[in-house]
Structure 1
Amino acid sequence: MKKFVAAAIVLAVMLSFAACREKGVIPAGKTVTPGTLSQYDPKKCRASYADRLVAQAVYPVSPQYPDGTVTDKEAEEWVKFRKNRMDAASAIDSSALGSFVKKTVREYLTSDDGGNRVYSPVSLEIALSMLAEITDGQTRAQILSLLGADSIENARRQAVSIWDGTYRDDGIGTTVLADSLWLNDGLMYKKPVLDILADSYRASSFSGKPGSTEYDSALRGWLTEQTRGMLDTSGVKLDPRTVIALAQTVYYKVSWENIFRETDTGKRDFEGTKGRVSVDFMNREIENGSVYFGDGWQATRLDTSDGGAMWLILPDKGRSTADVIASDGMFDLISGNKNGIENRRAKVRLSVPKFDVSSQTDLIQGLINLGVTDAFGSSADFSPLTDVPNVFVSEAKQAARVVIDEKGCTGAAYTLIVATYKECPGEKETIDFILDRQFVFIVTSDNGIPLFVGAVNDLTA
């Protein structure tokens, strides 16, 4: 199960690299440069949101891997932490997660424009589970159906198991998840559901005036800190009518189990959807490797320092990444079900391009296609969260980026779901109603029966 979850986090890598012609492009034509991996300032990020913080989530302490420099006690703590992670991963409903991954990957990673796509199923899964917590009725039922959960308790249990089963920062691998709530300081909320989000999802809470420069800056600072500067957050802004914004992030960094030698990297042509281009390819021989053959594709894996892997799936010539996504074989492979998939043990001469791919995805239409409809319209039910009327999801998006080089793989994603109200409470239209001329009145009883009806035509007497 651990390998399946790790694969779900970076699943988009193996699907998008076959279309990788150039470095990934953020919408509006902004190319993300490798320098953003190290140029962010965590202190400035924290300073941007410190005044807006209501409750800070407490994250688990990840003991460092016992590499010979730690004490026996510290080594025991790492073993215990690892066991807890494995126990949590084993509690994941793999069937429900597998179905969710398959449906959403097919929805968000196939397109006609031939561009790169990166998507984190885990980030969306947890964000949708939080959304289910603050909704009810058909709105919640539709979300639960997509998640494959028959109750909000099971959806919560699944999200917690994914969170606890993947979270680590122990020196040999980093998979850090974070959740947060962004509230409107002019509105009232129901405490029980906020407590659930804080306790079960480890969600930090913030409060401020949505749409203000300070609050927008705080949200961008939090997202930037959690994704360690990998993603462009400059376009993140909240509508002044925001009731709540749910933010979920994933940051992932591992080394290859056996790194590539930079001296073996060389130029090679890559044939992408937009033509041929010469790029840097990393090269290595794997003496005892495996290549898997499915219907129209072949695959191998790059083992990582934390015991996980990056699967690399190559469509046969004449086939596309969309063809691979449409088949079940790829999903069976990463879930461990290799029935019908040929495995050849061989010396593998691997040549893989270095890449830096990123994308930003509007999630709304995809969720509607997958059956989550009520959350985006007048039928939305946010009664567990607030009594504010006419609340609906106005924005749902995910940004993600994955970079690989000779040393390893780094990835980050954030999912942002924003609920707003259609009419601004406390800012109603003002109408002067002055009875300074003839008028009619009707007096009714408490059950609507007209007791008196009159016409006031003259007040001179």
Structure 2
Amino acid sequence: MKRILSLLLASALLLAGCAPMTVGGSDPAKNGRQEVQQTSYALARPVYPDFPAYPEEPQGDDADWDAYFDAYSQYIKDLETVQGQGLTEEHWAALNAFAAKSTPLVLEGHAGENTVYSPLSLWSALAMLAQCADGDSRQQVLEAMGADSVDALQKQVPQIWRGLYTDDGRSSLILANSIWLSDAAQGSYVQDTLDVLAQKHFASVWSVPMGTDQADQAVTDWVAEQTNGLIGGEGPVVQTKAETLALLASSLYYKAAWQDEFLPQLTEEDIFTTADGQESRVDFMHQTEDANFIRRDGYQAAQLSTQLGEMVFVLPDEGVAPESLLSEPDFLARLEFYGDAATWGEVQWSVPKFDVDSDLDLKGALSALGVADLMDPDKADLTALTDLDAFLSEVKQLARVKVDEEGVEAAAVTIMTINCTSAMPEPDPEICVMDLDRPFLFIIRTQDVPLFVGIVNQV
């Protein structure tokens, strides 16, 4: 009987990237992601840079390995051009500190449920929110992120995204941002802030009729495009209102094959047992390898390498709840599979194929992180974004992870809704000048029945 598998994906989902806004490059819709149809709503869209294709390994007895190694060397050079200096120790520390602090706050209260959380998606959304806020509201966001200032974030964000962005034909690791504005509030937004979001946070900028099905569908289509259809394919991801002033959305898409794929012929049906003793028959993948693993009081852990990082699996001891492990402040940081903490041996894998998703309300977690003023209509300061009174009314994250014999596919999107506290300004009325000073057509009707139809060419 299989014990409960705790899939602590916070570390795995810290792997993400985004394309810097460039001139030229590739259209994201041509990279397999569905294109948003409501292009008339777009005010600005980033263009992903052309990412070098990973060279295919030669096959057969007459394989030209010299040509392959030359192609691989060129790939590494081109990779450095796109990714820059890569992820520095400072970046790694900042992202992992935020993951360690936020993960238990987000995942608590969901015992017995499937939950998936992306710390990086929330971090990215908070970085945009900090740019939109001011005063104490901004300071609370910065402290929650562990950031010094918005100026520091403006340098840090593009470096992190460039260092992580991958789209080489075999693996994908893409982070995308967007801000959605109300077309009824044109003229109330701070252009300098929108420029920073577009240039430093690589956010696409959209103007939509909030509170309509068209607006909800446009946001949903954008999410589906950025997540390769993992999220957004089964109905709207958001429901805007007439008083919705803006939406901030940060999506994350990750896809990578296992370094050593599971053989389908070894997949067998077996029993998975939930915490309350419920049993279900599911397909389990099997593999045995020599590798490092961790065995500590309360759990054991091992990792499977992918072509773009690794996926760590933590198996709690019988009677130990997965949520309780996350209460240790340094739990994620201690999942290191080298040095004295690790043991070398034979790892016998039996992993269920799964497709799990969750829809998390993050307002409570943000409040616990110290971001309180922005959710209070009387204290929120969003004057860096708009001259209207506004507050953060909703924060949620949708996430999904699929695992099978070939590899891992995962996606998340964090959506922050900003509503007006005062009445939305009435839009200027559209004017139609009916100056019949040239030939015209007329229809006379009653109860929608045309009685007369005529054309006047002369008067």
TM-score, normalised by the number of residues in structure 2: 0.79
1:356 and 1:404 in contact (8 A); partners too: yes
**Which residue does 1:325 correspond to in 2?**
326
Structural RMSD (CA): 2.5
**Which residue does 2:135 correspond to in 1?**
137
**Which residue does 2:442 correspond to in 1?**
none
Quick one: which amino acid aligns to residue 208 of structure 1? V
Return the match for 2:298 from 296, 299, 310.
296
Classify 1:202/1:272 alpha carbon distance in 2 versus 1 (closer, same or farther; 3 Å): same
- Unaligned segments of structure 2, at least 5 residues: 1-8, 16-31, 59-66, 428-459
Q: Distance in 2 between matches of 1:260 and 1:96?
A: 34
**Which residue does 1:123 correspond to in 2?**
121
Shift of 1:327: 2.1
Q: Distance in 2 between matches of 1:7 and 1:426?
A: 42
2:133 and 2:383 in contact (8 A); partners too: yes
* Cα shift readout 1:390-420 (whole Å, capped 9, x = no counterpart): x001111100000100000000111111111
Shift of 1:196: 0.6
Q: Distance in 2 between matches of 1:241 and 1:151?
A: 30
1:92 and 1:158 in contact (8 A); partners too: no
1:360 and 1:398 in contact (8 A); partners too: yes
Runs of 4+ aligned residues of structure 1 deviating over 4 Å after TM superposition are 68-75, 336-339
- Unaligned segments of structure 1, at least 5 residues: 1-5, 13-40, 429-461
**Which residue does 1:60 correspond to in 2?**
49
Quick one: which amino acid aligns to residue 243 of structure 1? L
Q: Distance in 2 between matches of 1:185 and 1:149?
A: 32
Quick one: which amino acid aligns to residue 225 of structure 1? E
Q: Distance in 2 between matches of 1:177 and 1:184?
A: 24
**Which residue does 2:344 correspond to in 1?**
345
Q: Distance in 2 between matches of 1:98 and 1:65?
A: 28
* Cα shift readout 1:327-369 (whole Å, capped 9, x = no counterpart): 24531234x4967x63111121111111111000011111011
2:245 and 2:420 in contact (8 A); partners too: yes
Shift of 1:314: 0.8
- Give the percent of matched residue pairs that are identical in Structure 1 and Structure 2: 34
Q: Distance in 2 between matches of 1:365 and 1:7?
A: 18
Q: Distance in 2 between matches of 1:427 and 1:309?
A: 52
* Cα shift readout 1:146-185 (whole Å, capped 9, x = no counterpart): 1001111223333223322221110232111111110112
Q: Distance in 2 between matches of 1:235 and 1:204?
A: 18
Return the match for 2:94 from 93, 96, 117.
96
Alignment of 1:18-417 (within 5 A): 45-47=35-37, 49-67=38-56, 76-82=74-80, 85=83, 87-90=85-88, 92-187=90-185, 188=187, 189-232=189-232, 233-274=235-276, 275-286=278-289, 288-306=290-308, 308-328=309-329, 330-334=331-335, 336=336, 342-377=341-376, 378-389=378-389, 391-417=390-416
Shift of 1:68: 5.2
**Which residue does 2:418 correspond to in 1?**
419
Q: Secondary structure at the match of 1:96?
A: helix
Quick one: which amino acid aligns to residue 411 of structure 1? A
Quick one: which amino acid aligns to residue 362 of structure 2? L
Q: Secondary structure at the match of 1:326?
A: coil
1:302 and 1:311 in contact (8 A); partners too: yes
Classify 1:166/1:11 alpha carbon distance in 2 versus 1 (closer, same or farther; 3 Å): closer
- Aligned pairs, how many? 388
Shift of 1:73: 7.4
Quick one: which amino acid aligns to residue 128 of structure 1? L
Q: Distance in 1 between matches of 2:190 and 2:411?
A: 32
Q: Distance in 2 between matches of 1:244 and 1:8?
A: 30
